[in-house]
Amino acid sequence: MEYGKGELPPYSAVAVAAPDRRRRWSVRRSRGVRVLALACLAFIVYAQWKQIQPRLKGSSVSQLSVEKLNEDLRTCSKLRSKPQDPIGLGRERNLRYVDGHKPTLIKNATIWIGEPVAGTSDKDARLGKGYSWINADVLLEYGLIKEVRKGIDVTSLSSDTIVWDAKGRKLTTGIIDMHSHAGVDSLPELDGNADTNEMGSNITPYVRSIDGLNVFDHQIQVIKSGGVTTSLVLPGSSNNIGGEAYVIKHAVGKPDGRNETSIADMLADPEHNWRYIKMACGENSKRTYGEPGEHGPVSRLGESWEFRHAFEQAAKIVQAQDDWCTLAESVGVEQMETYLPQDLEWETLAAVLRGQVHVNTHCYTVPDLEAFVDHSNEFKFAVRAFHHAHQTFLVPEVLKRAWGDSPPASALFADNMWYKAEAYIGSEYAGKVLYENGLTPIYVSDNPVLNAQHVVFEAAKAFGYGLPYHVALASVTTAPAERLGLGQRLGKVKPGFDADIAVWDSDPLSVGAAPVQVWIDGTAQFDDPVELKKPLSSPLEPLSEVPATTEEIVSMNDIVFTGVSKSFLSPSKLHLQGENSTVAISGGKITCVGTCETELEIATKSGTKVIALQNGYLTRPFTVFGSTLGLNAIDAESDTDNGGGTGIFSRGVDGLALETKKLRYAQRYGVTRAISAPKYSGQMTHQGTSVGFRTAAKHVLDKGAVFADDVAVHYTLDLSAKSGSTSISNAIGALRRKLLEAASANTTAADPYSEAAFLGKVIDGSLPLVITVQSADVIASLLKVKDTVDAAIASSRDSSSGISLVLIGGAESFLLADELAAADVGVVLSPLLAYRNTWDQRRALTGAPLTNGTAVDALVAAGVRVAVGIEEDWLVRDVGLLAGIAYKNGQGQLSEKDALDLVSANVYEILGLEGSDDTSEFVVFEGSPLEIGARVRAVGTGVDDEVIMLV
């Protein structure tokens, strides 16, 4: 028998014999056989009837506990019940409400309800009609939203009501993160606190994230400071079936208004209406568990068997239970010879098949997605969401074939990709494409992969990539609430919903938006929150021009732009004249900025393309420092990586591999230059000399491909330094010895490309020394090393100049801001927004409302030379937005130019390089590159005078 795709045979299927067409038996013989068969069947039926006849007369033969049998019978009704989404409207109080908490009236707020006005058709609602911000008050009482309307009279409320003035600021429901490991993957990362994956077996539906959730994980509070009130805490993705997940609220213990400190008290739904499970397809399981010749899975083929075999075991349990329940109800429990079949190992998966558990599955690629859709149809269970889901936008029809009433949502990153093979194919426009195909995009953090404090920023970027505003905001509020089965209680600002609220200092989908206060179940979560000084702003407008999902790139040498309002090229270069200036480009170079009447006339006559911009910006291109750009194509794939090692000192220029997808995207987002060093041991570690190159070059011999063969000498002194030196102290001591030996050397190294030769250049000041470091303690030790080496240089070489020291990383550098400024040590913050990801970053500043600023603010205030790098290559799309965060949250310390210099001119100043004032290197934006929604329209690449246009 043949089976088509989606109609795979169950593993219990038996072979079907082909019909015998010879028909040699006579009709008489055939009839004789039939008579014999009927006689045998009659005998079997008679024997069975005789066996059960005493039972039917009421004679009990069971020796089992009747009490236990009755309990089992009561369980039958539970097994057959299908949970319903719990109601919101109609409740008098939230079951999570803590007695004694006072009502709160939030006055004068600009509110996003989360749904269109009554009477809006479904068609219009999908287009965003009926959605708007409204001015109103919100009353919170008994853990619920009681009223949302204008002019609630405080005198009509109880005398103990707390009145909080929103001052016109934006108010939304609390943010919901549908993919988090907060509490089970506690921060900072320590082996003793790692409880994300149960790796004793590949199939573990029986384990539960709730059993490893660390209530004292500080990251739970950091996440809440980003307006996140609710998270789905999932087991990890090492296992094909990882175990049960739980929805929590980010309020822990008495400091957060709770009566007790417990995991149970954090559960968002005390009634336990729905259950949740995590499954995972693809690379992780076969990499973790596959041992060729011993056990699988070692391939996706094997993974499908693992899934189907597990579901088959669960299906057998379901069938056995249903048979027992049917018989017990028919003959009475007193007649039963066995108890209800139950198996804790398969109970959760059996509940999945009964529709009682919401399935969330980590799946990236088309074969993974299609296989899992097949499994859902074979075993008849619904999938609530595919997580990561990088390729779902390519196969919307496959998702629509999944079993159930509603196709799976896609729980996505906005633009995080390329980190492994199954993340290589993806698109920043995925959410837009999915929505246009009638599917649901949801944006998530996978905390701590991304800091869930900023999960709303993922939705903001999706808006910038063309997802309608109402859908983008829904992707972190109403959409996850509905997929969790809690859509009548969470995700909207309406009476009857849980009183989970965030009030923002700016539009939540704008760059740098931060809450000024957060309420969970009606209780304010921050006693003395830091509020950044920002002017009251209007809600974001829809994008004037929604970007296409596949922008075409065209090379041209001659083009004219009008409508340019600001230029940030070197002041000594071409100046703007007025807010509606023209930029003329000829032969790949900028020839005029201003009125450019002659150039416009020539362009009109010659047919040169003239493009009218709205709020055009002309800037220097971005330069990325510290990434693996040019030395890696897929982070986790060794064949695409330059490599490195703790005992190896090499030159980045010798390993450059250009014209990769990463570099093409870098160009498209205005990054024309990168400075990259070989790895020490892994991502964001460095050892050797870095190379400066242009991202548009096809190979190193291209004209202008490499602008600096050896930019700096790099070493790593973060926690990974112990892998090569056994201890941080030994690593610092080894570096000191190398530098002192170089300072005392009287001869030139025989090999000009050796480590000793390059250290000689550090000593003579011709190359900077760049150290990858996060800890303030190690930074303090480095400053002492610098003093020692500088003294040795002064003694042996009669020179007053010391080494040029630069730090990259710098999570805790703010603690030594004054000392760094005094020593003239530059800092390249990477990441810009550090958090307690590792032990050596545990004192990082996470920003408002928890801390007054972040590292960049403290360093700038102290006069330290600062730049911003990227710790992972996918961030090439976000370089301008990172500068925008520093600008928007800097409380006036930085101008727009200062912010843009963080990712351009400051890099060169810190490293002692000449910057780019070449008129063939520039970026033309439509809209501010520091804001959501800006589009790159043209890039002068600096290679062969090429200008690329995005049309």
Of 204-213, 555-564, 827-836, which range is least confident? 555-564
| Residue 22 in this model has a pLDDT that exceeds 70 | no
pLDDT exceeds cutoff 90 at 59: no
∠ CA 630-838-215, nearest 5°, is: 135
CB 905 within 8 A of CB 915: yes
Name the 3-class secondary structure at 170: strand
Q: Give yes or no for residue 24 having a pLDDT over 50.
A: no
Q: What is the pLDDT of residues 357-378, one digit of tens each?
A: 999 999 999 999 999 999 999 9
pLDDT exceeds cutoff 70 at 578: no
Contact 360, 280 (CB under 8 A): no
Split at pLDDT 50, 70, 90, the class of 855 is very high
Longest dimension (CA), the chain: 120
Flag whether pLDDT at 32 surpasses 70.
no
* Cα separation values, 577 from 204, 564, 565, 570, Å: 67, 10, 9, 15
For the residues 30-44, what does the mean pLDDT come to? 54
How do residues 775-788 score in pLDDT, each as one tens digit?
999 999 999 999 99
Taking 3-state DSSP, the helix, strand and coil percentages for the chain, each rounded to the nearest 5, stand at: 35, 20, 45
Q: What is the pLDDT of residue 950?
A: 86
Contact yes or no for 131/114 (Cβ under 8 A): no
Q: Which two tokens stand for residue 92?
A: 């008098």
| pLDDT band for position 49 (cuts 50, 70, 90) | very low
Q: Pick the closest to residue 211 from 170, 187, 177, 245 (CA basis).
A: 245
Going by pLDDT thresholds of 50, 70 and 90, the confidence category of residue 58 is very low
Q: How many angstroms separate the CA atoms of 384 and 407, rounded? A: 8
Task: Indicate the pLDDT class of residue 618, thresholds 50, 70 and 90.
Answer: very high
User: What average pLDDT is seen over the chain?
Assistant: 92
pTM (two decimals): 0.93
Q: What share of the chain in percent tops pLDDT 70?
A: 92
Average pLDDT over residues 229-248: 98
CA angle 481, 482, 484 (to 5 degrees): 65
**pLDDT tens-digit series, residues 259-310:** 999 999 999 999 999 999 999 999 999 999 999 999 999 999 999 999 999 9
* pLDDT tens-digit readout, 426-463: 999 999 999 999 999 999 999 999 999 999 999 999 99
CA nearest to 253, candidates 236, 245, 265, 241: 265
Distance CA(453)–CA(99), nearest Å, equals 29
Banded model confidence at residue 115, pLDDT cuts 50, 70, 90? very high
Q: What is the mean pLDDT of residues 586-611?
A: 92
pLDDT tens per residue across span 493-535: 999 999 999 999 999 999 999 999 999 999 999 999 999 999 9
pLDDT number for residue 915: 75
Per the omega criterion (within 30 degrees of 0), is the bond before 297 cis? Answer: yes
Structure tokens at 237: 């993705």
Give the total residue count for the chain.
951
Where does the pLDDT of residue 575 fall: very low under 50, low under 70, confident under 90, or very high at 90 and above? low
**Residue 524 · residue 142 · CB < 8 Å:** no
Q: For residue 241, what pLDDT band results from cuts at 50, 70 and 90? A: very high
Q: What is the DSSP string of 421-481?
A: GGGSS--TTHHHHHHHTT--EEE--TBTTS-GGGHHHHHHHHHHTT--HHHHHHTTTHHHH
Interval 552-577 mean pLDDT: 82
**pLDDT at residue 23 is higher than 90:** no
* 141 pLDDT above the threshold of 70: yes
- Give pLDDT tens digits for 64-105: 999 999 999 999 999 999 999 999 999 999 999 999 999 999
Question: Do β-strands 559-567 and 357-363 pair in parallel, antiparallel, or remain unpaired?
Answer: unpaired
**Chain segment 158-180, per-residue pLDDT in tens:** 999 999 999 999 999 999 999 99
For residues 685 and 718, is the Cβ–Cβ distance under 8 A? yes
Per-residue pLDDT band for 44 (boundaries 50, 70, 90) equals low
- For the chain, give the percent of residues with pLDDT over 90: 87
Task: Report how far residue 402's alpha carbon sits from residue 383's, in angstroms, rounded to the nearest whole number.
Answer: 7
d(CA 810, CA 85): 47
Span 687-711, average pLDDT = 97
Which one-letter amino acid corresponds to residue 393?
F
In this prediction, residue 10 carries a pLDDT of 40
Q: Where are the beta strands (DSSP E) in 626-730?
A: 650-651, 671-676, 688-689, 691-694, 706-708, 713-716
Q: Are 950 and 551 in contact (CB under 8 A)?
A: yes
Residue 800 confidence class, pLDDT cut points 50, 70, 90: confident
What DSSP designation does 157 have? S
Using the predicted structure, report yes or no on whether residue 45 has a pLDDT greater than 50. Answer: no
Average pLDDT of 921-946?
94
Confidence of residue 7 (pLDDT cuts 50, 70, 90): very low
Render pLDDT for 729-776 as a digit per residue (tens, 0 to 9).
999 999 999 999 999 998 888 999 999 999 999 999 999 999 999 999
Give the mean pLDDT of 543-562.
79
Give the tens place of pLDDT for each residue, 325-363: 999 999 999 999 999 999 999 999 999 999 999 999 999
Identify the band that residue 801 occupies on the pLDDT scale cut at 50, 70 and 90.
Answer: confident
CA distance from start to end of the chain: 52
Looking at per-residue confidence, does 747 or 803 come out higher?
803
CA angle, 829 then 909 then 935, to 5°: 65
Residue 900 has pLDDT above 90, yes or no: yes
